[in-house]
Structure 1
């Protein structure tokens, strides 16, 4: 797919400089020479200023509650970029993030930062970020999320420590090395003639439908995962499957693998344990939804690969 990497988080050519990760002295030199930039993240929310990632220098007061050594993200035009988890900070004022909601609209402001700086849900900002900011923020959010959920060694249960610039955790007790994990998820544009198959999950906003998606299981190919997930969720059988594009998805740490598949059956039998509803939608109705003019189907969320796939299908640009 010619436009595959134009999807949000799709890659900006960031120099991840993996060769630097194991060189503690070199990373320390980058951190102390005054040119390094650090992205604070509070309980999964990156710091933004307007519609851009907001970076601070080493020693900034906002970093006082940083849990561990900042994670090295890479070199941006030669400038070292890091991320730090400051989730221990307790806001004195501001909205409390709601629990169990699809989207957290609250924003938190730190007293040591300018008024227009705020911690915000990435879903609400992602489509407005530059490609470079999007890649950096997605990387930072995903890897810091991994550190928060993998503080103990899975081999012996003892605490592990950050190593290799943040790209490993090491257990001093049993010597096990742990590496960040990315969960592969297939998301599929299933078509049959002039229509595509869309579904919705419980708890989604009213009128929100999307391409079907599901996690790839161990020992399973992408093609098999597409066919299995569609059959499990809707009863629809799928024939030929091909890859289209991928999108890193830091919610918390998935890789969305966009595929297209040709359905060989029409009848839908929804599994209520999997999804709430599924419908066939014509290309014309998808075009109306994309423009925000459909009477019952919401416009796809900006920045998500589902909308990217649907828009390219409507425009006949999948090749």
Structure 2
């Protein structure tokens, strides 16, 4: 078994994707103890990442700003993020940034823009905070009986006092993939993309469907291309609002494109040289930014 395992992964170096590599220890064992959570909140080393309408407060050099308890209103919704490398507790809170900016400076910035400016590890913390706070804002009532729910487990659960149901934050799996035919890959363009930008095809995994089946279905639905073997490459959290992007390569069995014009306005086969030029910003079309896993997917294929 060990020989098979080693053979399978020989020569495979998983790429580093954006919005990953959080330095925090999520400390699941502490979430279950309300007294521990209260003690962490009262600690002199505790800090909060403040999001105003899901937009983070950042420093003037585009780093996450960590506020103290004195900077927050008492009723601010908050979640536990984890422990920093020195054991200091880190939380996120939803609150107005106006008092914070008046005291300390900094600025409020769109979360997607912030993630593009900061190191991946900081972007990963932001992704965790944004997804959790957004989930709480959207799920204030029980999906079973409709009663108001209350947060528990330091923000990783909401419990219904009326029927006892527990609700947990969800992550929606999304496959994002390149269909490969010889030395060419299939890229597409959605109507809402920035001018000249093309990317890998993508779509949500549907109920009762494997990742491989989702890859094959999405490529066929959007571009009319049948595929065979599928290889997983990497994954990335995408907190807009709460998805997990799962990057794959798929073996194309044909090359005639039949476009779904409701999903894509154009699709084309591109060579590795064209992809390298696009990644360098020198091609006839533009690739997604480095933060996006589509960029990682294109770069990994083009260098192979």
Q: TM-score when scaled to structure 2?
A: 0.91
Question: 2:64 & 2:144 partners in 1: Cα distance?
Answer: 36
Contact 1:142 1:251 in 2 (8 A): yes
Q: TM-score when scaled to structure 1?
A: 0.87
- How far does the alpha carbon of each residue in 1:289-315 deviate from its partner, in whole angstroms, 9 at most, with x for none? 1111113x1232221000011111111
Instruction: Confirm whether residue 72 of structure 1 aligns to residue 60 of structure 2.
Output: no
- Structure 2 counterpart SS, 1:40: strand
Question: 1:186 & 1:246 partners in 2: Cα distance?
Answer: 9
- How far does the alpha carbon of each residue in 1:230-265 deviate from its partner, in whole angstroms, 9 at most, with x for none? 000010111110111000110110000111101111
> Which residue is equivalent to 1:53?
64
1:40 corresponds, among 46, 50, 68, to: 50
- Structure 1 counterpart SS, 2:81: strand
Question: 1:185 & 1:164 partners in 2: Cα distance?
Answer: 27
Instruction: Confirm whether residue 298 of structure 1 aligns to residue 286 of structure 2.
Output: yes
Instruction: Confirm whether residue 315 of structure 1 aligns to residue 303 of structure 2.
Output: yes
Question: 2:291 & 2:103 partners in 1: Cα distance?
Answer: 28
Question: Which structure 1 residue ranges, 5 or more long, are not aligned?
Answer: 92-108
Cα shift at 1:51: 2.4
Cα shift at 1:193: 1.2
> Which residue is equivalent to 1:119?
108
Instruction: Confirm whether residue 11 of structure 1 aligns to residue 37 of structure 2.
Output: no
Question: 1:292 & 1:230 partners in 2: Cα distance?
Answer: 26
- How far does the alpha carbon of each residue in 1:106-127 deviate from its partner, in whole angstroms, 9 at most, with x for none? xxx9543433x11212222324
- How far does the alpha carbon of each residue in 1:35-72 deviate from its partner, in whole angstroms, 9 at most, with x for none? 01100111121221122111101121xx228542x200
| Residues 114/274 of structure 1: CA separation in 2 closer, same or farther (3 Å cut) | same
Question: 1:66 & 1:254 partners in 2: Cα distance?
Answer: 28
Equivalent residue runs for 1:151-162 within 5 Å: 151-162=140-151
Question: 1:35 & 1:110 partners in 2: Cα distance?
Answer: 18
- Structure 1 counterpart SS, 2:19: coil
